[in-house]
Amino acid sequence: MTLTTQAPPRRGQHRPPAAARRRANPWPYLLIAPAVAGGIFLLLYPLLKAALISFQHFRMGELIRGGAELVGFDNYRELLAKEEFWQVVLRTFVWTAVNVVLIVVLGTGIGLMLARLGKRARLLLMSALALAWATPVIAATTIFQWLFQSELGIVNWLLGIQGFAWFADPVAMFAVLVILVVWQSIPFVALTLYAGLTTIPNELYESARIDGGTGWQIFWKVTFPILRPLFALITSLEIIWVFKCFPQIWVLSQGGPDGATTTLPVYAFKIARVLHRYDMGSAVAMLTVVILAFALITNLRRMLKQEAAA
Amino acid sequence: MKHRFLALAAVFALTACGSTPDPAPSAATGGSPSAQAPAKLVVWIMDGSVTKELLGSFEKEYEAAHAGIDLDIQIQAWDGIGERVTAALASTDAPDVIEVGNTQVAQYSASGGVKDLTDKTADLQGSDWLPGLAQPGQIDGKQYGIPWYAANRVVVYNKDLWGDTAIPKTRDEWVAATEKLNKGGNQGIYLTGQTWYALAGFIWDEGGDFAVQQGGKWVGALDSPQALAGLDFYKKLQALGKGPKDADEANPPQHEVFAQGKVAQIIGVPGIAARVLEVEPGMKDKIGFFTIPGKTADKPGAVFTGGSDLIIPEASKNHDAAYEVVKALAGEKFQTELAKAMSFVPNRTSLAGVLSGDEGTAAMAAGAANGRATPNTPNWAAVEATTVIKQYMTAVLTGGDPAAEAKKVSQSITDTLNSGS
Amino acid sequence: MRRVALNTAAAVTFVVMIFPVYWMVITAFKPTKDIQAETPSLFPLSPTLQHFETAMGAEGFWRFWANSLLVTAGAVLLALIVALLAAFAVSRMRWRGKGPFIVAVFAAQMAPWEALLVPMFIIARDTDLLDSLLMLTGVYFMITLPFTIVTLRGFLQAIPADLEEAALVDGCTRAVAFRRIVFPLLAPGLMATSLFGFITAWNEFAFVNVLIIKDQANRTLPVWLSSFRDVFGTDWGATMAAATMFALPALVLFLFLQRRVGAGMTAGAVKG
């Protein structure tokens, strides 16, 4: 649907309103105050508590009775010494890369397609996308579980194969989860990009076409540069979302078979809420944030630079 | 709205008495009659444990007999129940009575959030309890969970498809009969690849187990020759039908598959017959039951005793009144009604007589004689939750090397059981 | 030729995107016996409303609807207002610390909410906010806030500041200029952003599961949606019927926004 693009930075030509130039203007700070307050009480404070838990001996007993003891870096040491942890980290990167590439490429393709369709066909396709988006995760997951069932599943029926056990094979299970997550994520990307595309003035395309550009060239020379900030935003959001994706995986595979679909959030869940080792689960979550931040550091830097320049 | 005010009043009452949660041993508060009669008692019952009608009549009778008590029986959904119970135990104003599965009760008891009811066992005639429910409720000699009801699995069969084949008394006869039934469009047995409760029985029959205690440490034992033999039999049986190898009996629900009329047998608790009839009323009088056959005719197959215990959270504000509810729910009158309505085994062996009238429960009672429980350690619940056993079964059934897979899963079970608390 | 290829691609996309949803809806109308039929049928042969009756007959159904609407609408509106203020400061004013603030907002989207479950529970318990819809609203507000700020900032930046300045020159105050000039242009952005927040808050299960314990009347719809499962398995018919009803509000909101936003956006958005 409709997220407009972030306009590319307009160096020099951007002239801030007069009021903003005065020094020590309290207004901006007053305006962000509610957001900052919310962030401190509802995010930072629990986050610090979670960080504290990761340095404690905090299991089910401590949750119920209280009185957790500090244990320094014990949880982290134990975690980092596990070979499994590093496998999970690597797998999470593969999982994220595969999904994000598919989501962005297919989502872009569908977004471009939307722009070229007739009005009626476009509305129809957009409604289909919205339907997929609005389908609750638990329902979507149940349906996929069912579509890929080995005996009564409709996928095997359509493909004409007898009893192939999708959920028993590590690669097939991984693929089913990718299909599910891509299916759920495409609508946001496609609709957002379509909204962005509608903001590109038609003249730009026309002049490019007169210059004899093919569709492919026009995309790379006109569309992409203009929408670059939007692409950057979408890609980073998808990286975050896919990286942190959890309920789908847990419901369908519990991280199996043989750990083939255990990503960091699944791993953290297993440790924290199945084994009731909240302490080490918190440690995994803290490391997840650090890893994610590193993965997106270029993007964060770019944002900072952009602001400084604006 | 009324409830909201009551809750608010309760909160004030709490602050008045000092709001720090007090983990002092409950024995101190045990005998003292509470000054103010509690207005409302919250009881958590799992979805599907008891029919609405039975709960309704219990509530009515109980409130009539206990003036000033308002029972609020809340049916709990299965999704997320583990976290919900944990949160309830950790809260400052918990529900007063909670039903928990007998494989789960140990982990809650070990956490320190459950009231010790050891001194009530005599009052509840605990000498007579089913061991499969009483033992998991016990830690270091203290009784936290009060046995509520049990059920074990039997073979449920379709009389139309079964015809005049004799009811098997041994495994060999069972396989032979199933082979015969697995013809045409019909399935001899619908056994999904991850029905691990059934596997448990086969393993126990061979003399194996999921895990054994060795020098104070639990060790996964699915790689023992006995356990492997159990799985081998499971594989043989599973192949005599079209049960999906990568799913458990709940997805899709096996009673819905059975109701299609093309499946000769399923393995389930007798209560499942009622579910079949909900889907296909035409199967009335066509459902038969027999005890899971053992290796020899003189002994039925070992079965997993599933069921529930009742616990009272430390954080409940009405320990005494809550105990009265537990006593009523675990008492003879309600137990008899429950067993009849739900086809369950009552919590005390002396009450087993109520089961004799019905084909399904009779078959179950015969099997119950050889009932067993999962390894008795607080960490067992975690083994179940990680579904490693199910994944192991699927791996072997779809062609994995049994010995290698068994070694892996045993290691994983060992790790989980010794992960500390 | 190209038209054909385009339309084929569109048709394939349409089918792939809609099929799982279609399957959900028709399953909701199939009698339980047909759901597990050996050969699946692509439409309900003997449609029934039985599953909808089961779903709507569940205890507390209407209470859960009311709670969900209250919590979701509360969280989304609060997030919109707070985010709008912040986004305005970020896109229209110059101040020290703006860069770090933006980065912090972006980073807040990485928050490991799953891991905050236990701390949130402890905070709620220690402040007597267990069983309270207020706490739940607060959590959902915070989950959606960072995204709302980021996207609203994008929308605001796309509206040329010159427009406001012209109004200021004409003697309007800043607030009036904002209300008269920027707000109408921003309306589509506000609506679009709210859809995302709505879907997120509407679906949330993990927090309501541990924050609402004893006062079950304060539960929300996702709890209801996952309640058609017991020891015998999931009642797929009822789950699909419930899921269909559950998805409706988001869909209605989308169609409503689609109509409003479609026109407003092309007119108002980005000209420079």
Cα separation of B114 and C44, whole Å?
49
Q: Which of A222-226, B28-32, B301-305 has the highest mean pLDDT?
A: B301-305
Give the nearest partner residue to A274 out of B314, B386, B397, using CB atoms: B386
Work out the percent of chain B whose per-residue pLDDT is above 70: 90
Tokens 């440690």 sit at which residue? A283
In sequence order, what DSSP letters do the residues of B138-189 get, joined into one string?
A: EETTEE-SEEEEEE--EEEEEHHHHTTPPPP-BHHHHHHHHHHHS-TT-BS-
Instruction: Give the B-side interface with C, CB within 8 Å.
Output: 3-4, 7, 11, 42, 46-48, 74-75, 77-80, 83-84, 86-88, 90-95, 249-257, 259-260, 262, 268, 271-272, 275, 278-280
Range of the domain at C96: 63-268
Closest chain B CA to residue C213: B88
Closest chain A CA to residue C98: A307
Residues A110-141 have pLDDT tens digits of 999 998 898 889 989 988 998 898 888 877 88
Establish, for the pair of chains A and C, how many residue pairs have beta carbons separated by less than 8 Å: 297
Residue B393 CB-half CA count within 13 A: 29
Residues B226-273 have pLDDT tens digits of 999 999 999 999 999 999 999 999 888 999 999 999 999 999 999 999
Residues B305-325 have pLDDT tens digits of 999 999 999 999 999 999 999
Cβ–Cβ below 8 Å for B252 and A149:
yes
Query: And the tokens for A148?
Result: 């890929």
Residue B10 has pLDDT above 50, yes or no: no
Quick count: other Cβ atoms within 10 Å of Cβ A214? 10
Whole-angstrom Cα Rg for chain B: 23
Q: Check if C95 contacts B (Cβ < 8 Å).
A: no
Give the nearest partner residue to C128 out of B3, B11, B42, using CB atoms: B11
Q: Which residues of B touch A275 (CB under 8 A)?
A: 379, 382, 416, 419
Give the nearest partner residue to B279 out of C33, C226, C230, using CB atoms: C33
pLDDT, residue A23, reads: 56
Rounded to a whole number, what is the distance in Å from the CA of B312 to chain A's nearest CA?
14
Task: Give the DSSP letter of residue B47.
Answer: T
Residue A150 has pLDDT above 90, yes or no: no
Q: Which residues of C touch B75 (CB under 8 A)?
A: 59
Contact by Cβ (8 Å): B355, B339: yes
pLDDT, residue B7, reads: 40
Segments in chain A forming alpha helices (H): 18-21, 27-39, 45-53, 60-65, 74-80, 83-116, 119-134, 137-147, 154-159, 170-197, 202-210, 215-218, 224-244, 247-253, 264-269, 278-295, 297-309
Q: Check if A165 contacts B (Cβ < 8 Å).
A: yes
pLDDT, residue B43, reads: 96
Q: Which residues of B touch C223 (CB under 8 A)?
A: 77
The domains of chain A are located at 72-309
Residue B61 has pLDDT above 50, yes or no: yes
Average pLDDT across chain A, whole number: 86
Cβ–Cβ below 8 Å for B256 and C234:
no
Residues A233-273 have pLDDT tens digits of 889 889 999 999 998 999 899 898 888 999 999 999 989 88
Rounded to a whole number, what is the distance in Å from the CA of C3 to chain B's nearest CA?
43
pLDDT-based confidence at C260, cuts 50/70/90?
low
pLDDT-based confidence at C254, cuts 50/70/90?
confident
Query: And the tokens for B258?
Result: 């059975």
Contact by Cβ (8 Å): B406, B228: yes
Average pLDDT across chain B, whole number: 88
pLDDT, residue B22, reads: 40
Mean pLDDT of B151-175: 94
Q: Which residues of A touch B83 (CB under 8 A)?
A: 273
Q: Are residues C71 and C199 in the same domain?
A: yes
Q: Check if C206 contacts B (Cβ < 8 Å).
A: yes
Cβ–Cβ below 8 Å for B78 and C35:
no
Structural domains counted in chain C: 2
The answer to whether position C28 is within a domain reads yes
Cβ–Cβ below 8 Å for C226 and B79:
yes
Q: Which residues of B touch C235 (CB under 8 A)?
A: 253
pLDDT-based confidence at A15, cuts 50/70/90?
very low
In sequence order, what DSSP letters do the residues of A56-75 get, joined into one string?
A: EE--HHHHHH--PEE-TTHH
Cβ–Cβ below 8 Å for A165 and B23:
no
Rounded to a whole number, what is the distance in Å from the CA of B95 to chain C's nearest CA?
6
Quick count: other Cβ atoms within 10 Å of Cβ B163? 10
Residue B300 has pLDDT above 50, yes or no: yes
Cβ–Cβ below 8 Å for A151 and B113:
no
pLDDT-based confidence at A20, cuts 50/70/90?
very low
β-strands B303-304, B138-139 pairing: unpaired
Give the nearest partner residue to B253 out of C213, C223, C234, using CB atoms: C234
Cα separation of A93 and A295, whole Å?
10
Mean pLDDT of C109-133: 92
* Superfamily classification of domain A72-309: MetI-like (1.10.3720.10)
pLDDT, residue B37, reads: 54
pLDDT, residue B358, reads: 84
pLDDT, residue B9, reads: 39
The answer to whether position C180 is within a domain reads yes
Cβ–Cβ below 8 Å for A59 and B421:
yes
Rounded to a whole number, what is the distance in Å from the CA of B338 to chain A's nearest CA?
31
Contacts of residue A138, defined as CB under 8 A and 6 or more positions apart, other chains included, come to A247, A251, C203, C205, C222, C225, C226, C239, C243
Residue C33 CB-half CA count within 13 A: 16
Cα Dmax for chain B: 73
Stated pTM of the model? 0.87
pLDDT, residue B252, reads: 86
Handedness of CA A252, A254, A256, A262 (dihedral sign): positive
Q: Which residues of C touch A247 (CB under 8 A)?
A: 205
pLDDT, residue A301, reads: 83
pLDDT, residue A13, reads: 43
pLDDT, residue A295, reads: 86
Rounded to whole angstroms, what are the CA distances from B257 to A252, B163, B223, B369, C181? 21, 20, 32, 29, 63
Q: At A17, phi and psi to the nearest 5? A: -55, 150
Contact by Cβ (8 Å): A199, A284: no
Cβ–Cβ below 8 Å for A138 and C222:
yes
Rounded to a whole number, what is the distance in Å from the CA of C150 to chain A's nearest CA?
9
Q: Check if C175 contacts A (Cβ < 8 Å).
A: no
Q: Which of A56-60, A297-301, B137-141 has the lowest mean pLDDT?
A: A297-301
Rounded to a whole number, what is the distance in Å from the CA of B77 to chain A's nearest CA?
14
pLDDT-based confidence at C146, cuts 50/70/90?
very high
Q: Which residues of C touch B77 (CB under 8 A)?
A: 223, 226-227, 229
Cβ–Cβ below 8 Å for B91 and C217:
no
Q: Which residues of C touch A236 (CB under 8 A)?
A: 106
Mean pLDDT of A211-222: 83
Contacts of residue B318, defined as CB under 8 A and 6 or more positions apart, other chains included, come to B34, B38, B41, B96
Query: Which amino acid is residue C179, in one-letter code?
Result: R
Give the nearest partner residue to B91 out of C130, C231, C235, using CB atoms: C130
Cα separation of B326 and B309, whole Å?
10
Closest chain C CA to residue B96: C214
pLDDT, residue B276, reads: 94
Residue C134 has pLDDT above 50, yes or no: yes
Cα separation of B103 and B378, whole Å?
9
Cα separation of A168 and B279, whole Å?
29
Q: Check if B408 contacts A (Cβ < 8 Å).
A: yes
Work out the percent of chain B whose per-residue pLDDT is above 90: 73
Residues B78-120 have pLDDT tens digits of 888 999 999 999 999 999 999 999 999 999 999 999 999 999 9
Rounded to whole angstroms, what are the CA distances from A18 to A22, B404, C96, C166? 7, 74, 16, 12
Query: Which amino acid is residue A53, in one-letter code?
Result: I
Q: Check if B6 contacts A (Cβ < 8 Å).
A: no
Q: Check if C41 contacts B (Cβ < 8 Å).
A: no
pLDDT, residue B200, reads: 96
Residue B279 has pLDDT above 70, yes or no: yes
Establish, for the pair of chains A and B, how many residue pairs have beta carbons separated by less than 8 Å: 92
Query: And the tokens for A163?
Result: 């009893």
The SS3 call for residue A9 is: coil
Establish, for the pair of chains B and C, how many residue pairs have beta carbons separated by less than 8 Å: 105
Residues C56-75 have pLDDT tens digits of 998 889 999 999 999 999 99
What percent helix, strand, coil does chain C show, rounded to 5?
75, 0, 20
Query: And the tokens for C33?
Result: 């016996």
Q: At A138, phi and psi to the nearest 5? A: -65, -35
Q: Check if A8 contacts B (Cβ < 8 Å).
A: no
Residue B26 has pLDDT above 70, yes or no: no
Residue A157 has pLDDT above 60, yes or no: yes
Q: Check if B21 contacts A (Cβ < 8 Å).
A: yes
Query: Which amino acid is residue C228, in one-letter code?
Result: F
β-strands B40-46, B70-76 pairing: parallel
Residue B24 has pLDDT above 90, yes or no: no
pLDDT, residue B20, reads: 38
Enumerate the CATH 3.40.190.10 domain ranges in chain B, comma separated.
Answer: 40-150+306-363, 154-305+366-417
Work out the percent of chain A whose per-residue pLDDT is above 70: 91
**In CATH, what number is assigned to the domain containing residue C84?**
1.10.3720.10
Residues B339-384 have pLDDT tens digits of 989 989 999 988 888 887 788 988 998 888 888 889 988 899 999 9
Mean pLDDT of C199-218: 91
Q: Check if B386 contacts A (Cβ < 8 Å).
A: yes
Task: Give the DSSP letter of residue B313.
Answer: B
Residue A2 has pLDDT above 70, yes or no: no
Q: Pick from A256, A297, B393: which is nearest to C110 by CA? A: A297
Q: Which residues of B touch A274 (CB under 8 A)?
A: 382, 385-386
Q: Are residues C179 and C222 in the same domain?
A: yes
Contacts of residue B99, defined as CB under 8 A and 6 or more positions apart, other chains included, come to B44, B45, B46, B49, B76, B148, B308, B309, B310
Cα separation of C115 and C127, whole Å?
20
Residues C183-192 have pLDDT tens digits of 887 877 788 7
Residues C156-178 have pLDDT tens digits of 887 777 877 887 887 778 788 88
User: If one looks up domain B154-305+366-417 in CATH, what number appears?
Assistant: 3.40.190.10
Contact by Cβ (8 Å): C136, C70: no
The SS3 call for residue B274 is: helix
The answer to whether position C58 is within a domain reads no
pLDDT, residue A10, reads: 41
pLDDT, residue C187, reads: 79
Residue C37 has pLDDT above 70, yes or no: yes
Residues C79-108 have pLDDT tens digits of 999 999 999 999 888 899 998 999 999 999
Name all chains with 3 or more CB-CB pairs below 8 Å to chain B: A, C
Residue B39 has pLDDT above 90, yes or no: no
Q: Check if C80 contacts A (Cβ < 8 Å).
A: no
Q: Check if C238 contacts A (Cβ < 8 Å).
A: no
CATH number 3.40.190.10 is the correct assignment for the domain at B40-150+306-363: yes
Rounded to a whole number, what is the distance in Å from the CA of A83 to chain C's nearest CA?
22
Cα separation of A131 and A112, whole Å?
19
Cβ–Cβ below 8 Å for A151 and B391:
no
Mean pLDDT of B391-418: 95
pLDDT-based confidence at C267, cuts 50/70/90?
very low
Interior/surface letters A240-276, b for 16+ CB within 10 angstroms, e for the rest: bbbbbbbbbbbbbbbbbbbbbbbbbbbbbbbbbbbbb
Query: And the tokens for A93?
Result: 């990167």
Cα separation of A195 and C83, whole Å?
21
The SS3 call for residue B45 is: strand
